[in-house]
Amino acid sequence: MDVISLSSVDLAIAASLLVLLSFLSMIFSLGLERKILFLGCRMTAQLLFVGLVLRYLFASGSFLLVLLMSTVMLCAAGREVQARQKRKILGFSGYLISICAMFISSFSVTVLALLVIIRVEPWYTPQYAIPLLGMLLGNTMTGISLALDRMTDQLHGRRGEVEQRLLLGQTWQEASRDIRSDCMRTGMMPIINSMAAAGLVSLPGMMTGQILGGTPPVEAVKYQILIMFLIAAGTGFGVVSAIWMSGLLLFDERHRLRLDNLKLD
């Protein structure tokens, strides 16, 4: 079955729904109309640009170009993780934590999947590497940003309790164990809910896209199961590493809580 091509008119009809939504935002005084329209336009421009880049990248198959685009995607995801935190860790250290957590959660898991599970030749084939990395980055950064935001917020709100435990002789790992466990659960909850609802409540995006593209449903389901497993594992690894690294930064070698490099407003 051939893929049905979408025209500019088809996309304009879909875009009109956002215009209608912005009018509803104005009517109900939600204050979201500018964001809806601006982000809708920005998303369109970004996706069109990425589409042109991918067309050239797929044609060339260059390892250096794949590595360059993957690095750009990783850096952008790290920035998004840091930007989504209310009380973010200031300076390059906060950005480095985000980058390292995203690398562990997505970059390394993607390479493992390409080399060991999918076994495409060559392993950096852009038709597989870039979409797979993009899905992992997009899904795992939500859990990591939630966990980090919860971590900094809890340490700020429960500073007195944590410092009392430290004064009683506990290490920073012992004093913050409950907080860190809660943050890890918060970060992993979205993917756990997604796994619970997949197939019964919702049809995940990759599977839907493959089916629309003509892939047999059973084969599409196999790929979706693989993606869900990778996202779940990557999110867990990323959340744990992000919380651990933030703990090393927010506590010093003498086990004192240091929030001076935290944005408190």
φ/ψ region of 64 (left if φ > 0, alpha if ψ in -120 to 50, else beta) reads alpha
pLDDT confidence band for 185 (50 / 70 / 90): very high
Q: What tokens does 122 get?
A: 């060559």
Mean residue pLDDT of the chain comes to: 86
pLDDT confidence band for 227 (50 / 70 / 90): confident
Domain ranges of the chain: 1-60, 62-250
Partner residues linked to 89 by β-bridges: 262
pLDDT confidence band for 147 (50 / 70 / 90): very high
The pLDDT > 70 percentage for the chain reads 94
Whole-angstrom Cα distance, residue 155 to residue 164? 13
**Cβ atoms of 242 and 147 closer than 8 Å:** yes
In this predicted structure, what is the pLDDT of residue 38?
Answer: 93
In this predicted structure, what is the pLDDT of residue 263?
Answer: 65
User: If you count them, how many residues does the chain have?
Assistant: 265
In this predicted structure, what is the pLDDT of residue 255?
Answer: 80
CA 232 to chain centre: 12
Residue 215's Cβ-count burial label (10 Å; 0-12, 13-18, 19+) is middle
Instruction: Flag whether the pTM goes above 0.85.
Output: no
What residue type is 25 in one-letter code?
Answer: S
Q: Among 89, 181, 154, which Cα is nearest to 173's?
A: 181
Whole-angstrom Cα distance, residue 175 to residue 247? 11
**Range with lowest mean pLDDT among 5-19, 28-42, 78-92, 175-189:** 78-92
In this predicted structure, what is the pLDDT of residue 202?
Answer: 66
Q: What tokens does 72 get?
A: 């750009």
pLDDT of 115 higher than 70: yes
Residues in Cβ contact with 239 at an 8 Å cutoff, skipping those fewer than 6 apart: 101, 105, 143, 144, 147, 183, 184, 187, 188
pLDDT of 265 higher than 60: no
**SS3 assignment for 143-175:** HHHHHHHHHHHHHHHCHHHHHHHHHCCCCHHHH
pLDDT of 13 higher than 90: yes
In this predicted structure, what is the pLDDT of residue 3?
Answer: 65
In this predicted structure, what is the pLDDT of residue 237?
Answer: 92
pLDDT of 100 higher than 70: yes
Partner residues linked to 112 by β-bridges: none
Q: Alpha-carbon dihedral of residues 148, 151, 154, 158, nearest 10 degrees? A: -150
In this predicted structure, what is the pLDDT of residue 17?
Answer: 93
In this predicted structure, what is the pLDDT of residue 2?
Answer: 61
